[in-house]
Amino acid sequence: MSHAPAIRTRGRPLATAEQDVRASLLDAALVRFAERGIAATSMAQIAKQAGVTPAMVHYYFSNRDRLLDALVEERVAPLIEQVWTATDDEVADPRLLLQGVIARMIAGVASRPWLPPLWIGEILNESGLLRARLFARLPLPRLRALAESLGALQARGDLHPDINPQLVFVSVLGLAMLPFAAAGQQRRLPIGLTLEPDAVARHATALLLHGLRPAPR
Amino acid sequence: MSHAPAIRTRGRPLATAEQDVRASLLDAALVRFAERGIAATSMAQIAKQAGVTPAMVHYYFSNRDRLLDALVEERVAPLIEQVWTATDDEVADPRLLLQGVIARMIAGVASRPWLPPLWIGEILNESGLLRARLFARLPLPRLRALAESLGALQARGDLHPDINPQLVFVSVLGLAMLPFAAAGQQRRLPIGLTLEPDAVARHATALLLHGLRPAPR
DNA sequence: AGATTAATTAACGATATCGTTAATTTCAAG
DNA sequence: CTTGAAATTAACGATATCGTTAATTAATCT
């Protein structure tokens, strides 16, 4: 499954292979958390996935809470930062911003299969175990600004009155992230469809901007 | 939290109160599964939530697997059936059908707070523990028919070419169900928004049909 | 070289969990 | 009334899990 296990013996290992155990524990945790959920994953399972003993988790992270802290700090938060790093064009036009956010989100997903289940299950979900930790790091001002620019569009009559600007970002997650959570590592939906990241990005963008209407013009 | 506990004593209880223990075990399971996930919920926790001893779960359902079977059979499948029971009008026009499906979905959610987290986490999610059980009962023909009518629209140029008809139903779940999973029992999003079922239905429908564009005409 | 520090596995004890069985009580049928 | 079936709690034993400590080995510093 993961890297070559290379029989581990008691005592400090030789410095030959550049095996960063701490990093591989974080990776292992992400894999298992994405697969079975945080609450259902034991420390021992993480250690096993990483090919080390449970005591290593204690050695590097002291306890479960600190492991979660490290995960958020080192793996998840940087991604959120990246998704919300917008160009000036995007800041000026909420539709452009949404397009950019979707594109960066899905680009992030492509190289991080653990992201969608984790985001949906442990961050977005009310009782997700990363939610509180990540909430402090969310770019709330940007979310608010987005809702406000959409509200301005709406006031001008440039947006359907039934749309709720405050719900738009959750809708983006539903359109861009949820399909990947549903498809899993194999990127296949139960109906038999294979998910191409680019195609999902185009679909989500088109649906968000135009809905099920003809292409404009 | 739940009904009055009424001190239980050993032996068969008096037949006064009409307490359907089996039903209340199913309810309790749904509550806990929605809250912490199936994999992380022990039988004992379910029994405790229902106010009975763990042995009752064994008595009524034999084991965890059978409990899940009963849950799907008696609580979830009927709902799916209801959501997909469409009028003739809806069968003729995919946009109408989607509108109806969203309305019925959200109506179902209103009285069943456990539904959104369960659907998102245990059915839609790739490693969800109800997925395989429910898959056999999904109305696949209707899903396929929906995708096909949308494809027909698209071929006529009445639908943006970037839309993927096969992704539309997942998009519906993302728009109509995910917000409730994110808001939890309190129906409040972390940004402070309170979710009114009707408002969410209107938002999801508008976004799906028109996107972030002005209202037509 | 010697001493100290880093990294690792083995092993343990306390606690929790699962499924099951025995005991107990009430209901229902003859 | 009596007898058998239904419904329930208590209690148990096997197994797992968590976090921790001790032992062991390699690297690094002096």
DSSP A188-204: B-TTS-B--HHHHHHHH
Instruction: Work out the average pLDDT over A113-131.
Output: 92
Asked if residue B66 keeps its beta carbon closer than 7 A to nucleic acid strand D, the reply is no
Instruction: Work out the average pLDDT over A56-83.
Output: 92
Instruction: Give, in Å, how far the C1' of C1 lies from the CA of A16.
Output: 24
Instruction: Give, in Å, how far the C1' of D9 lies from the CA of B46.
Output: 16
Counted across chains A and B, CB pairs separated by less than 8 A come out at 217
The domains located in chain B, with CATH, are 21-62 (1.10.10.60), 75-210 (1.10.357.10)
- Indicate yes or no: CB of A40 within 8 angstroms of CB of B35: no
Which of A96, A146, A160 is the best residue to mutate to test the B interface, defined by the most B CB atoms within 10 Å of its own CB? A160
pLDDT bracket for residue A92 (50, 70, 90)? very high
CB-nearest partner of A211 from B135, B202, B213: B213
* CB < 8 Å to B39, chain A: 36-37, 39-40
pLDDT of residue B7: 61
Residue A3 has pLDDT above 80, yes or no: no
pLDDT of residue B161: 94
Asked if residue A16 keeps its beta carbon closer than 7 A to nucleic acid strand D, the reply is yes
Strand C: which bases are under 7 Å from protein Cβ? 6-11, 17-28
Write the DSSP symbol of residue B211.
-
Asked if residue A11 keeps its beta carbon closer than 7 A to nucleic acid strand C, the reply is yes
Mind listing the pLDDT tens digit for each residue in A94-108?
A: 999 999 999 999 999
For residue A136, the chain B residue with the least C-alpha distance is B190
Instruction: Work out the average pLDDT over A152-162.
Output: 93
Of A162-171, B2-11, B160-169, the least confident? B2-11
Residue B212 has pLDDT above 90, yes or no: no
Backbone φ/ψ region at B52: left (φ over 0), alpha (ψ -120 to 50), beta: beta
pLDDT of residue B12: 60
* CB < 8 Å to A124, chain B: 178, 181-182
Select the more confidently predicted residue: B8 or B189. Answer: B189
pLDDT of residue A214: 79
Contact B179, B200 (CB under 8 A): yes
Mind listing the pLDDT tens digit for each residue in B25-35?
A: 999 999 999 98
pLDDT of residue A192: 83
SS percent in chain A: helix, strand, coil, step 5 = 65, 0, 35
Half-sphere exposure of A15 (CA within 13 A, CB side): 0
Q: How far is B105 from chain A (nearest CA, A)?
A: 16
CB-nearest partner of A163 from B98, B158, B206: B206
pLDDT of residue B8: 64
Asked if residue A64 keeps its beta carbon closer than 7 A to nucleic acid strand D, the reply is yes
Mind listing the pLDDT tens digit for each residue in A7-52?
A: 667 666 666 665 788 999 999 999 999 998 998 898 999 999 988 8
Residue A109 has pLDDT above 90, yes or no: yes
Mind listing the pLDDT tens digit for each residue in B34-78?
A: 988 998 898 899 999 988 889 899 999 988 889 999 999 999 999
- CA–CA dist B148, B151 (Å, integer): 5
pLDDT of residue A62: 87
CB-nearest partner of B211 from A126, A170, A209: A209
pLDDT of residue B18: 58
- Residues in B 64-93 whose C-beta is less than 7 A from nucleic strand C are 64
pLDDT of residue B32: 92
Mind listing the pLDDT tens digit for each residue in B99-149?
A: 999 999 999 998 999 999 999 999 998 888 999 899 888 899 999 999 999
Mean pLDDT of chain A: 89
pLDDT bracket for residue B13 (50, 70, 90)? low
Contact B130, B72 (CB under 8 A): yes
Both tokens of B89, joined, read 């009008």
